[in-house]
Copies of this chain bind each other. A is one copy, B any other.
Amino acid sequence: MAQSDKRRSILSAAVGVFARNGFYNSKVADIAREAGVADGTIYLYFKNKEDLLIQVFLDTMDTVLFEQETALRGITDPIERLRSIVRVHFAVVESRPALAEVITVELRQSSRFMRSTDLKPFGRYLSLMAKTIEQGKNTGQFAPEIDSRRTARALFGVMDELALEWAMVPDRHGIGEASDAIINLFLNGLRVRP
């Protein structure tokens, strides 16, 4: 295996093990077994179990940001751009349930992660939303008094809570349809009152 393939297969094994056993009860040895590598190999790529969790997050954010930016190409209307962001977010959640569970549930427990002020990819994700809201204010579609950054964070909260609910419920369907209803409500709220 090439180095980058090995790294990727360890990360992918980690997602499975974390989702199945929870971060707390997962062992680096279990991840090694699932990835088909020796325990020691993991430490060539990652510092420890928490580093693995953080790298899962950083890799995921890179992929999702790339998918978001690709989907946004050619969409100029801020309302349609926000709709696209929410749809892509839920599409990622729906296509990778184990990953969604690790990100929404397990990641919150990592105090090193939660306290990090260097969460660049999460910051970029919020910025993508905040800039779109700002753009809607500039075009006069959204109310001028809206705080773009805080509203982006609120929108992330809605998406994260619905993703969490979906990841926890064994009966897994309907997150796409849910997302459309919620984004309509949110967009209504942003609009300038006539």
Contact = CB atoms under 8 A, between A and B. Distances in A.
Interface size classification for chain A? 35 or more
Interface string A165-194: 100100000000010011001111111011
A160 B194 CA distance: 31
Contacts of A161: 153-154, 156-158, 160-161
* A interface secondary structure, majority: helix
Contact of A189 (B114, B159, B186, B194): B186
22 contacts: A22-B109, A22-B111, A24-B109, A24-B111, A108-B164, A109-B109, A114-B168, A115-B168, A143-B188, A145-B181, A146-B181, A147-B181, A150-B162, A151-B185, A154-B161, A156-B161, A157-B160, A157-B161, A158-B161, A188-B189, A188-B193, A189-B190
